[in-house]
Structure 1
Amino acid sequence: MHSEHEQLFTVGELARKCGVTVRTLQYYDKSGLLCPSGYSEGGRRLYSRRDIIRLQQILFLKSMGFSLEEISQKVLPADSAAELTQVFKNQKTILARQLAQIQQTIARLDKIMEEIQSGNEVGIEKLLMITRASRSDNPYFFLPRHMSKEQIEYFIQRFDEDGTSDFNKKLLEFSAKLIDLHGRNEKPEGAEGQQLAEMWWNLVMLKTKGDLSLIHDIGSVIINENNWPQDAADLKDATLTFLRKAVLTYLRKNNIKLPKNHGGIDK
């Protein structure tokens, strides 16, 4: 039911104003992702303010690389001012994280160009680093896609935007070392393996603010092989084999006991 004075848009009007095609909106309707709030007497689709907010979320999540199936599970209600504020707050956090990643990549490129202009040869390791950074400064960037709304909000409340850049930098260094140790067939129980496990533990403490119950939310996503993107096979293998063994040894040696209902990478 719409108020008498509520502005409604036809599918063509909404498509023009939001920069999408009519065919896209028709497809969203057919798939149940964005159904119009009503129809005209002539049977034309009519979209309301509520539909526009939903479309904005769909387009934002799509730009982040989510599939339509994933998007259907992540679109939040925005019927009140508080709910709409939360929608945009979440999007702001994601964009701020991306901005920090872009700025870090730009800084790396500037440094590489300075070395080139100085006549120094750029080593293969730096080229590989830049290649990895060009994709994402967070090698576990896929994790939020597989977390519930409550889990994401929980992390957002405990991890401010200012700390995201520093955390991603540490995580990138960690993942590079993890892949290197795994590739060299080092023992997870060895000195380097345990140093890596300690690094992981410190990152977990930083991310969770010491709340051990959050390890379940992170670990349960990581150990599910179906959650990993196809282009992260090296990190996936290193994480699910080498890191799990290294962490288990580290926890035992340091007598660290997690909540009984914990799960994940250290299980």
Structure 2
Amino acid sequence: MYSIGEFARKARVTVRSLHHYEEIGLLLPSATTEGGHRLYSDQDFIRLQQIVLLKSLGFSLQAIRQILDREDSWEDSLRTQLKIVKEEQERLKLMENGLKALLFSYQIEGKIKWETLFQMFEYSKTAPSEREKVLSRQLSGEEMEILSKVPKLDQDELALQKWVSLLKEVKYHQQLDPGCEQAQQIAKKLYRETLAWFDGDAEMVEKFWEMIKNPDEHLRFYPFDEQMIEFIDQATEIYLRGEHERV
């Protein structure tokens, strides 16, 4: 048998926790000495380990007591907790995507465009399955395929960060002459990056840019302002013309 201090050290919990567990009827000492000191057994230790494990999985102390006291409640309790955990994961994922959107917007713009972010955030709260249904009604099969290739907040973060860096570069240099050497280097990087998304299909790249320029579609990508689109259009046209002339 263990005194309460020995038991707490063995289990790596506080004496205060053991007192609380006793108060709520979750873990009672197996015996007490004549002087009123609590004594715990090895069986008590097993129950405490069960409590600690279930607590780490997010169960409340009340739920843990119900699970341990009623063998038939295990399956329902575990299913309920799994549902809670999944809902929490979805909530945290939404928070993560919101923070990423704020970060990437700031990286590109040098400021937060709140109106745009509110719209994007509301759109992101729609369940993926429902979003898919809405998009399938609005877009052709080819447009859906294009959409699936573009880096997204909840997917490849390295690809997304690379894209954000390119857009930041465009934003910073959009006052340049589209035909100058620096603008042409940007156009080259931008074109090659998007070409890689579509496995070298230049026609798909062209359709991707057409979707971006369509005001009905712009919230499905990071919103480009007119000056960015005009700069990209002109710089890319000059770059591709030069590439064709070299062939």
Q: Same fold per TM (> 0.5)? A: no
Larger radius of gyration: 2
TM-score (ref. length: structure 1): 0.38
Tell me which protein shows more helix as a share of its residues.
2
